[in-house]
Amino acid sequence: MIALDLYCGVGGITRGLQRAGFTVVGVDVNHQPRYCGDVFVRMDALVALDELLSGAEVGGYRLADFTSAHASAPCKRFTVANAVHTNLRPTLFDPHPDLLSPTRELLKATGLPYVIENVPGAPLVDPVTLCGSMFGLRVRRHRLFETNWKLQVPDCRHDLQEEVVGVYGNGGAWTRTQPGGGGRKVVGAEAAAALGIDWTDHQPELAQAIPPAYAEYIGKQLVDHLAAAA
């Protein structure tokens, strides 16, 4: 089984798919020196899909070689912070274009089972939500997942998390107590452990990474789906 991981970043989705039994080809427009997958291709994700649809190879594989495709298009367009900024300071130049919609259309054209991930608020179609509390992690990191196949999902179990920590941004760690908002932000090795990541502790990568447990959970269901379809 060979999976295509578009906008792969450092490989949070990739590592989860590997644990579920997939060989993974990662595609990202940025250099990813700590990417954990089997093959890395530095290429625009939309260009990669166009290439595959035209019959060309990406990472040594043609479209028919892939059993599934996964995409985590940049999410800044759909974050709350960006929505507030856009409303306050509208501009003709959009620094965060919608890559999700064209990605979806190209994924549909491949005919592959696909998974699209993004942040709450993103315009996904009938998405399910995964949370770190479902997998014994110390983060919440709610993320939406759209699929063109049936995906079962458990309930959030926030009540089981003794301490929830934040992993975001490029700054240092901090702890705040009430009043004024409590909580703790962690960085480096502690942040990596909170996400279930064991191959990098580089903060800018961790701030963007999807916990591998999410993709492993999805990947195991995808294996069953592929077996049933076969």
Per-residue model confidence (pLDDT) at position 83: 46
| 23-38 confidence digits (pLDDT tens) | 999 999 999 999 999 9
Cis status, amide bond into 179, omega within 30 of 0: yes
Question: Which has the closest alpha carbon to 115: 168, 66, 57?
Answer: 66
| Host H or E run for residue 82 | helix 80-88
Residue showing tokens 């301490």: 163
- Domain borders along the chain are 2-88+97-156+210-229
Which phi-psi region, left, alpha or beta, contains residue 183 (left: φ > 0; alpha: ψ -120 to 50)? left
| 163-203 confidence digits (pLDDT tens) | 899 998 888 887 877 666 668 889 999 999 999 999 999 99
What does the alpha-carbon distance between residue 48 and residue 25 come to, in Å, rounded to a whole number? Answer: 11
Q: What are phi and psi of 79, to 5 degrees?
A: -75, 155
Please provide the CATH number assigned to the domain covering 2-88+97-156+210-229.
3.40.50.150
Strands 2-6 and 23-28: parallel
Strands 39-42 and 23-28: parallel
pTM (two decimals): 0.88
